[in-house]
């Protein structure tokens, strides 16, 4: 092979390796016609090979790009962003600001890719649910989440004004921090009416969570949060549970982490299948006060339950004097 042909071949490989597709190789001292460095007799062969190489390289790159796009997971931006007035399920709040639910909404309108009606994936959000209903698919094993506040977003205020959430696996799921949720009614859901999961500094006020299949309110791996003025009635397992088991107190360690420093003030806890309020192992430095039966029936096992020996570092006081409990030593008062 002549030195001139070697030079062209090397330059062509260099450009192909860079990923750039050129109409044809750049040749030094190129004239308007022909390739001076290529012997005239070989110009046709050179052009055919060069154009064939570039053609198949372009096809390959186009194919790889299409396959890559197909295999790439959908990004948050691919989800439907909520408008300031939300009139149907299936959107995600991705920007700070004020939002409201404008109409009664339900799961038949569509869900987010994660199976939620409304997701919140931004900080500094105010959502006014406006007393509108948020209805899930229902059935004996409900699925999906009505309103889902994601970790690690913070400074979020949810105002229900009595909004009823029903027919979901979890009605209100909070995984953020510095979140206030006020005046929601979460009834006839599956795993929990309201769930705080890996959350921090949550203010849960004026919640009603009744007739859910498992828990009314579930506090899991959550710290320094307050639950005030709650009604957890006639749930299938426990009214208000602090722990990590999906079946109730196991009296064993919580592999997902403890739930320290939570305050549970003023609640009505009548008629749940097993317990009214139950603190499992891992619930530490928890204060439980003013939990009453409100004239309703006792919970089937115990009204008040603490799995920690002698209540551990938890404090119970000013609770219903008629309530039953599991602590013979008197640490639940």
pTM to 2 decimals?
0.77
Note the pLDDT of residue 255: 63
Dist. CA 304–CA 229, nearest whole Å? 17
Residue 235 and residue 198 share a domain:
yes
Residue 75 has pLDDT above 80, yes or no: no
Residue 308 and residue 199 share a domain:
yes
The string of pLDDT tens digits covering residues 212-265 is: 999 999 999 999 999 999 999 999 999 999 999 999 998 666 666 789 999 999
Rounded mean pLDDT, 190-216: 98
Residue that is last in its domain, among 21, 38, 71: 71
Residue that is last in its domain, among 36, 53, 71: 71
The string of pLDDT tens digits covering residues 9-40 is: 444 444 444 444 444 444 444 334 444 444 44
User: Comparing 22 with 94, which gets the higher pLDDT?
Assistant: 94
Q: What percent of the chain has pLDDT over 70?
A: 75
| Residue 310 C-beta-side C-alpha neighbours within 13 Å | 2
Q: Is residue 325 part of a domain?
A: no
Residue 41 has pLDDT above 70, yes or no: no
Q: Is residue 322 part of a domain?
A: no
Residue 137 and residue 168 share a domain:
yes
Residue 278 bridge partners (DSSP) = 241, 305
Residue 262 and residue 285 share a domain:
yes
Can you give the CATH number for the domain in which 246 is found?
2.160.20
Confidence of residue 204 (pLDDT cuts 50, 70, 90): very high
Counted residue by residue, the chain has a size of 333
DSSP E strand boundaries for 114-214: 116-120, 125-128, 134-135, 145-149, 154-166, 170-174, 177-187, 192-197, 200-205
Do residues 319 and 300 make contact, with C-beta atoms less than 8 angstroms apart?
no
Residue 77 has pLDDT above 70, yes or no: no
CB neighbour list of residue 279: distance below 8 Å, 6 or more residues apart: 242, 243, 286, 288, 305, 306, 307, 308, 311, 314
Residue that is last in its domain, among 38, 71, 104: 71
Residue 239 and residue 158 share a domain:
yes
Residue 96 and residue 15 share a domain:
no
- Count of domains for the chain: 2
| Residue 256 CA from chain centroid, whole number | 16
Residue 8 and residue 101 share a domain:
no
Cα–Cα nearest to 146, from 122, 125, 126, 118: 118
Note the pLDDT of residue 250: 82
Q: Is residue 331 part of a domain?
A: no
Residue 320 has pLDDT above 50, yes or no: yes
Residue 240 and residue 281 share a domain:
yes
Residue 153 and residue 93 share a domain:
yes
Rounded mean pLDDT, 146-172: 98
Dist. CA 168–CA 248, nearest whole Å? 20
Note the pLDDT of residue 143: 98
Residue 196 and residue 212 share a domain:
yes
Q: Is residue 105 part of a domain?
A: yes
Q: Is residue 327 part of a domain?
A: no
Cα–Cα nearest to 208, from 224, 191, 227: 227
Residue 54 and residue 87 share a domain:
no
Task: Give the domain range for residue 26.
Answer: 3-71
Q: Which two tokens stand for residue 128?
A: 């006014």
């Amino acid at each position: 092979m002549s030195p001139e042909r070697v030079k062209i071949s090397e330059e062509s490989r260099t450009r192909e390796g860079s990923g750039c597709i050129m109409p044809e190789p750049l040749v030094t001292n190129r004239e308007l016609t022909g390739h001076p460095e290529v012997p005239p007799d070989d110009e046709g062969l050179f052009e055919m090979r060069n154009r064939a190489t570039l053609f198949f390289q372009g096809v390959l790159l186009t194919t790889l790009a299409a396959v890559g796009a197909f295999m790439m997971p959908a990004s948050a931006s691919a989800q439907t962003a909520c408008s300031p007035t939300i009139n149907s399920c299936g959107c995600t709040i991705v920007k700070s600001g004020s939002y409201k639910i404008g109409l009664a909404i339900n799961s038949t309108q569509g869900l987010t890719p994660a199976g939620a009606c409304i997701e919140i994936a931004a900080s500094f959000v105010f959502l006014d649910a406006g007393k509108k209903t948020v209805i899930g698919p229902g059935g004996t094993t409900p699925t999906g989440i009505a309103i889902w506040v994601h970790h690690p977003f913070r400074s979020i205020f949810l105002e229900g004004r009595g909004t009823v959430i029903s027919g979901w696996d979890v009605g209100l799921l909070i995984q953020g921090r510095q979140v206030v949720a006020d005046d929601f009614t979460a009834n006839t859901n599956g795993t929990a009416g309201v769930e705080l999961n890996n959350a921090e500094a949550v203010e849960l006020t004026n919640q009603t969570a009744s007739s859910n299949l498992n828990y009314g309110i579930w506090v899991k791996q959550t710290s320094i949060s307050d639950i005030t003025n709650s009604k957890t009635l006639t749930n299938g397992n426990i009214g208000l549970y602090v722990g990590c088991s999906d079946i109730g107190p196991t009296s064993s360690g919580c592999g997902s982490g403890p739930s320290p420093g939570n305050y549970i003030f003023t609640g009505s806890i009548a008629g749940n299948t097993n317990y009214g309020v139950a603190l499992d192992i891992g619930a530490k430095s928890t204060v439980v006060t003013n939990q009453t039966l409100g004239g309703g029936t006792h919970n089937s096992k115990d009204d008040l339950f603490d799995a920690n020996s002698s209540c551990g570092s938890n404090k119970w006081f000013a609770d219903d004097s008629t309530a039953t409990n599991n602590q013979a030593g008197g640490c639940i008062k």
